[in-house]
């Protein structure tokens, strides 16, 4: 037997979504006893239960709940009232991070009367629908018609039974292998599979929009409500269309019928639905269809526990996508870190309060509209100490809209913060060199990092970066009354270096320099001298175009990795910042410090005069604002072993289904060589066997 001595070092570079640690999920199902308590509106309330059956009899949909729990989530069951939702249930439902409507639901509570409207209008948290019946035109109204078949996709004899990814880059499809078929990515494996119990179950229900019978395409229309986006379709042969299958008999796929239906579809917050029945109503938050779970074998059966409805019918790839979908829906949660009230700063408002040059409206955690213009600002009279007009028309001082939130750590490798938003200007902007800005800030040391975008089709680079030594205007002095003149105006108020802050640090609410000026450690990407789809911000004649911007800061070895993308509704072209190398923020002067605690963010115009109509000002709207944070979790080596006969060294560690891993080896802890990459796992553990292994080496596992 060959003997070897080993010196092993394991280093983990991990990134783990905050939402993946423990989402609070409400699983909505008819399994479980009904509620008996009447709400304040006289409607019987639904009933909330633990994740598992309390009487020891497993619910048929328990495998879905167990899958969520195994992924680290906290799950509660909710059995809704079979006819209507009590208004008292709404705040409790909205206290969860994600709501999932399971297949073991009767569609009654989601009908097109006041019941359905409550689920659309009053549920403000992300909601996933697994039962396709619920989204049809005469239920929640996400489709313009109702065309539904049942299927066990892997038993389709003529159709593929597989999903086609229409948005292949979507995070729901991370880790799923595909093959191009006629130019479109199709899953290599099935997502929906046949469930053998009960034998006569009718598989999953799918709303379809295309149907061929004996090769002849039928005339039908069942499109998605405008604003919805089809992420994946499914090609399948239905099971005995319109037939209830007798007990003990397996359904037969109809090879003569070949349908294409909706497998995964999303509707952003604010999507107007039910337009075929009413004037339309607005979904209060993100909605996602993920069609899965078996339906009843012989019509509705809502007994408790239901012996036939909602069984897990997802393959391993299907389960991975389902868990990805939960994480993606959770990331759309509007209450993450951002409040529904945005702060506003211009120097007159900061100094005196009262009516300033910046007015916000339509504020939620995901949107706002900002008007910026010249105004006769109310100022503080030093004699009467009353706010009153001074008769002077004053312009805003670099108007900023900001949010402060509990600081997130950005000091460890793998931590990342990302903001994504849509922005639309309603008035023409003058061409400018990077006067439209967005950034993150560290209030602890008064530093910021921001993205700069040109307006118009002139100026400097389209995307740029800048690090700031200050967010607030401070130089160590304290504001004193002698800085005011008899008219109540601060001397030299247009010079924004005048307001002084104690200790030279961040002044609460003073965002005069946020994303604005300062030069310590400046770093710029390679210039990008073009615009997505040829359209700049605020260009006359293109004000109907919506621009989508992302900004990411990630701690990597050696500093910060900064990234940004910009695209718009005029086409598919997307621009990305060319700055990829780590930004060494540790080289800031001692008086500044690293950007390692992100506690604020904001939007900034360098001047209200940026609008083409000058003092009359203009407005812009930010919508679909989403802030996500990724936090590292350590990789723990649970076991390792060496098999001398095969010279194999086996490593086992905790893994997540969302991540991809690599194994590296080093002889001196300085130079690392990749042994394996692209490793993914569906279970809670990852394992890799190094063969042949090298005695005396160091090994480490990294998340890619």
**pLDDT tier for residue 495 given thresholds of 50, 70 and 90:** very low
Q: Determine the pLDDT at residue 578.
A: 56
177 and 59 housed in the same domain: yes
- Is there a domain that residue 264 lies in? yes
* Domain housing 661: 635-703
Domain limit, last residue, from 299, 331, 363: 331
The reply to whether 2 falls in a domain is no
Per-residue tokens: 41: 């509106």
Structure tokens at 670: 């300085």
CATH of the domain at 516: 2.60.120
Whether omega for the bond prior to residue 692 falls within 30 degrees of 0, making it cis, is yes
Tell me, what's the pLDDT at 517? 29
- Residue 398 pLDDT greater than 80, yes or no: no
Average pLDDT over residues 322-339: 81
Q: Indicate the burial class of 48 (C-beta count within 10 angstroms; 0-12, 13-18, 19 or more).
A: middle
Is 60 exceeded by the pLDDT of residue 499? no
Average pLDDT over residues 508-537: 48
Residues 88 and 208 placed together within one structural domain of the fold: yes
Q: Are residues 310 and 400 in the same domain?
A: no
Domain final residue pick, 331, 366, 393: 331
Phi/psi class of residue 119: alpha, beta or left (left: φ > 0; alpha: ψ in -120 to 50)?
alpha
| Residue 581 and residue 651 share a domain | no
> Are 438 and 477 contained in the same domain?
yes
Question: Considering the domain boundaries, does residue 448 fall inside one?
Answer: yes
Q: What span, in angstroms and rounded, lies between the C-alpha atoms of 484 and 650?
A: 73
Per the structure, how many domains does the chain have?
3
The CA–CA distances, whole Å, from 487 to 81, 111, 117, 379, 386 equal 65, 64, 56, 9, 12
Q: For residue 318, what pLDDT band results from cuts at 50, 70 and 90?
A: very high
pLDDT at 476: 36
- At 420, the pLDDT band (50, 70, 90 cuts) reads confident
Mean pLDDT of the chain: 76
536 part of a folded domain: yes
State the pairing for strand pair 378-380/432-442: unpaired
Given 588, 608, 631, the domain boundary residue is 631
Look at residue 416 and tell me whether its pLDDT is greater than 80: yes
- Residue 363: the pLDDT is 85
Residue 395 has pLDDT above 80, yes or no: no
- Please report whether residue 16 resides in a domain: no
pLDDT band at 297 (very low <50, low <70, confident <90, very high): low
Is the per-residue pLDDT at 212 higher than 90?
A: yes
The residue to which tokens 């408002």 are assigned = 349
Q: Residue 625: is its pLDDT beyond 70? A: yes
What is the Cα gyration radius of the chain?
29
Q: Does residue 480 belong to any structural domain of this protein? A: yes
Provide φ and ψ at 164, rounded to 5°.
-105, 125
**pLDDT surpasses 60 at 114:** no
Asked if the peptide bond before residue 198 counts as cis, ω within 30 degrees of 0, the response is yes
More confident residue, 167 or 630: 167
Give dist(CA 547, CA 523) in Å, integer.
Answer: 25
| Percent of the residues in the chain that have a pLDDT greater than 70, as a whole number | 72
Q: Any idea which residue has 């401070």 for tokens?
A: 474
Residue 526, pLDDT > 70, answer no
Q: Give per-residue pLDDT as tens, 426-474.
A: 999 888 766 788 888 877 766 666 676 777 776 555 566 666 656 655 4
Identify the residue with better confidence: 133 or 467: 133
Q: Contact 314/193 with Cβ under 8 angstroms? A: yes
Of 157, 122, 305, nearest to 238 by C-alpha is 157
Calpha distance 131→112 (Å, rounded): 16
Residue 501 has pLDDT above 90, yes or no: no
- Tokens coding 196: 């053998």
Identify the pLDDT of residue 300: 43
Domain assignment present for residue 492? The answer is: yes
| Backbone dihedral region for residue 213 (phi beyond 0: left; psi -120 to 50: alpha; all else: beta) | beta
d(CA 11, CA 61): 40
DSSP 578-617: S--SPB-GGGS-TTT--S-EEEEEEEEES-GGGBTTGGG-
Shared domain for 267 and 349, answered yes or no, is no
Q: 147 by DSSP, 3-state: which?
A: coil
Least confident range from 192-206, 259-273, 302-316, 382-396: namely 382-396
Same domain, 504 and 532: yes
The domain that contains 671 carries what CATH number? 2.60.40
Query: Does residue 453 sit in the same domain as residue 322?
Result: no
- For tokens 């005196």, name the residue: 352
H or E stretch including 48?
A: strand 47-49
The listed range with the strongest mean pLDDT (240-244, 345-349, 399-403, 460-464) is 399-403
Residues 412 and 283 in one domain: no
**Which position has the higher pLDDT, 124 or 133?**
133
Q: Which residue has the higher pLDDT, 203 or 660?
A: 203
Same domain, 403 and 544: yes
Residue 287 burial class via C-beta count within 10 angstroms: exposed 0-12, middle 13-18, buried 19 and up: buried
Q: Residue 180 — very low, low, confident or very high, per pLDDT cuts 50/70/90?
A: very high
The angle, 0 to 180 degrees and rounded to 10, between the axes of the packed helices 316-331 and 62-70 is 70
pLDDT band at 289 (very low <50, low <70, confident <90, very high): very high
Determine which of 136-150, 159-173, 352-366, 382-396 has the lowest per-residue pLDDT on average. Answer: 382-396
Among 661, 660, 664, 682, which residue's Cα sits nearest to residue 673? 664
pLDDT in tens, 536-575: 888 889 999 999 988 888 888 777 787 888 889 998 888 7
> What is the percentage of the chain residues whose pLDDT exceeds 90?
21
Q: CB-based contacts of 56: which residues, under 8 Å, 6+ apart?
A: none
**Residue 39: inside a domain, yes or no?**
yes
Kindly state whether residues 607 and 646 are assigned to the same domain.
Answer: no
- How far, in Å, CA of 326 to CA of 127, rounded? 9
Section 675-695 average pLDDT? 79
Closest CA to 677 of 691, 665, 666, 661: 661
Q: What is the pLDDT of residue 699?
A: 83
- How far, in Å, are 27, 86, 95 from residue 19 at the CA level? 17, 29, 15
The CATH number covering residue 248 comes to 3.40.50
Contact (CB, 8 A) for 53 and 62: yes
Indicate if the pLDDT at residue 483 is higher than 60. no
Give me the pLDDT at residue 479, please. 30
Q: Looking at the structure, do residues 295 and 367 belong to the same domain, yes or no? A: no
Q: For residue 163, what pLDDT is reported?
A: 95
């Amino acid at each position: 037997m060959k003997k070897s001595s080993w010196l092993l070092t394991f280093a983990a570079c991990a990134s783990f979504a905050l939402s993946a640690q423990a989402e609070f999920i409400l699983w909505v199902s008819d399994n479980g006893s009904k509620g008996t308590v009447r709400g304040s509106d006289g409607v019987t309330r639904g009933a909330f239960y633990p994740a598992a059956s309390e009487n020891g009899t497993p619910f048929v949909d328990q495998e879905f709940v167990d899958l969520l729990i195994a992924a680290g989530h906290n799950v509660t069951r909710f059995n809704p009232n079979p006819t209507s939702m009590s208004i008292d249930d709404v705040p409790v439902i909205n206290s969860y991070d994600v709501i999932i409507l399971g297949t073991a639901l009767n569609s009654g509570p989601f009908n097109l009367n006041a019941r359905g409207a409550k689920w659309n209008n009053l549920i403000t948290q992300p909601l996933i629908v697994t039962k396709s019946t619920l989204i049809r035109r005469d239920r929640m109204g996400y489709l313009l018609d109702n065309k539904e078949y049942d299927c066990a996709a892997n038993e389709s004899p003529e159709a593929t039974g597989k999903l086609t990814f229409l948005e292949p880059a979507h995070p729901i499809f991370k880790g799923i292998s595909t093959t191009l078929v006629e130019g479109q990515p199709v899953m290599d494996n099935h997502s929906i599979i046949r469930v053998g119990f009960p034998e006569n179950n009718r598989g999953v229900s799918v709303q379809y929009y295309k149907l061929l019978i004996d090769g002849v395409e039928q005339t039908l229309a069942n499109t998605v409500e405008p604003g919805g986006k089809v992420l994946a379709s499914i090609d399948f042969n239905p099971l005995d269309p319109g037939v209830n299958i007798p007990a003990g008999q397996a359904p037969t796929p109809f090879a003569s019928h070949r349908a294409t239906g909706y497998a995964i579809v999303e509707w952003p917050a604010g999507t107007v639905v039910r337009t075929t029945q009413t004037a339309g109503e607005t979904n209060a938050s993100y909605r996602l269809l993920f069609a899965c779970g078996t339906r009843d074998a012989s019509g509705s059966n809502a007994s408790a526990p239901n012996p036939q409805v909602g069984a897990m019918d997802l393959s391993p790839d299907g389960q991975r996508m389902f868990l990805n979908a939960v994480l993606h829906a959770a990331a759309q949660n509007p209450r993450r870190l951002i409040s529904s009230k945005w702060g506003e700063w211009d120097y007159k408002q900061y100094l005196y309060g009262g009516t300033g040059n910046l007015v916000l409206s339509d504020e939620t955690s995901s949107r706002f509209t900002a008007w910026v213009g010249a105004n006769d600002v109310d100022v503080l009279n030093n004699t009467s100490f009353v706010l009153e007009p001074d008769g002077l028309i004053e312009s805003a001082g670099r108007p900023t809209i900001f949010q402060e939130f509990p600081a997130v750590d950005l000091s460890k490798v793998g931590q990342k913060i990302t903001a994504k938003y849509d922005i639309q200007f309603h008035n023409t902007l003058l061409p400018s060199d990077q006067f439209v800005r967005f950034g993150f800030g560290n209030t602890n040391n008064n530093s910021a990092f921001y993205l700069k975008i040109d307006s118009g089709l002139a100026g400097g680079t389209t995307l740029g970066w800048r690090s700031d030594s200050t967010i607030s205007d401070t130089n160590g002095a304290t504001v004193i009354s002698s800085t005011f003149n008899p008219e109540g105006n601060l001397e030299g108020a247009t010079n924004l270096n005048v307001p002084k802050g104690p200790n030279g640090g961040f002044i609460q609410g003073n965002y005069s320099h946020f994303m604005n000026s300062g030069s310590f450690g400046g770093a710029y990407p390679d210039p990008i001298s073009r615009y997505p789809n040829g359209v700049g911000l605020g260009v006359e004649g293109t004000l109907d175009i919506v621009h989508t911007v992302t900004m990411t800061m990630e701690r990597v070895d050696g500093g910060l990795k900064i990234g940004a993308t910009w695209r718009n509704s005029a086409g598919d072209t997307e621009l990305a910042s060319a700055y990829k190398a780590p930004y060494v923020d540790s080289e800031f002067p001692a008086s500044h410090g690293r950007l390692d605690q992100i506690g604020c963010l904001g939007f900034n115009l360098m001047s209200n005069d940026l609008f083409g109509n000058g003092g009359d000002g203009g407005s812009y709207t930010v919508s679909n604002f989403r802030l996500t944070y990724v936090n590292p979790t350590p990789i723990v080596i649970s076991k390792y072993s060496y098999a001398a006969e095969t010279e194999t060294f086996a490593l086992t560690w905790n893994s997540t289904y969302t991540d991809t891993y690599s194994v590296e080896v080093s002889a001196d802890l300085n130079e690392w060589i990749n042994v394996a990459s692209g490793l993914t796992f569906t279970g809670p553990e990852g394992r890799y066997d190094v063969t042949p292994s090298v005695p005396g080496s160091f090994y480490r596992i990294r998340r890619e």
